[in-house]
Structure 1
Amino acid sequence: MPKPARTQPLDPASVCRSADPLAVRELLTRVGDKWTIFTVLSLDLLGGRARFSDLERAVPGISQRMLSATLKTLERDGMLTREVFPEVPPRVEYEMTPLGRSLLHPMQGLVEWAKENWNQVRTAQSRYDDR
């Protein structure tokens, strides 16, 4: 596999000077959560707008409670909107905002990296565990 192009290293100290480091860490923790990643990517695959039940089927292994909590957090953070339609029973749809869509490229890159490197990580874990 070819070596990736070297990018300019990110100086963590510069992050602390230019932004609230606790806020940055908190946001990275939230957007890096596995349920957030799978929910955002699944919502994109569903066309950027979907009902709860569609998302529940699209996100492998997520419980209703965890999906609900993830959607509420994403809505609170401005990554998606929630629209309730006055029908019986009520219909609720979630739609990605421009801010949420801006997460897609970095998330897709991270998922691609994980798919390409999981065998190496598992091999390293086995070697470590065998010691």
Structure 2
Amino acid sequence: MEEIAFCGNNCTMCPRYTATVSGDILRLKAVAELWYRLGYRDTIVSTDKIMCYGCPSSSFCRYEIQQCASEKRVNNCGSCKEYPCYLMIKCFEQTQKYAESLKWKCTEKEYRCLEIAFFSKKENLDSANN
């Protein structure tokens, strides 16, 4: 079963999340290296710092989506009566720009994984709530 985050990220396809929940330290190290190569991190961080168990409302969200969804008590933004709001539209636009900039920084296989996990937010939210 897919786990769709507030913003539409597909956690079940995220290499960081799946490596964390499976306890695969080698995959976590590979994710730390990928996150550095992609510019998600300034350095290659330890496996403890790269672990991810999903997005609790207390986590930092550059788009303020987690906080908003928590306040409205929705599972994800697609189930909100105001969807798509200005926060999500901004998130969709930024995600698309960022997706284009990453194509040359990773392999085709890595990019496809990121595309499903992160760059298909709108599609994930639309299909999760039909």
Question: Structure 2 length normalisation: TM-score?
Answer: 0.31
Q: Which has the higher contact order (CA 8 A, sep 6+)?
A: 2
Question: Structure 1 length normalisation: TM-score?
Answer: 0.31
Q: Which has the higher strand share?
A: 1
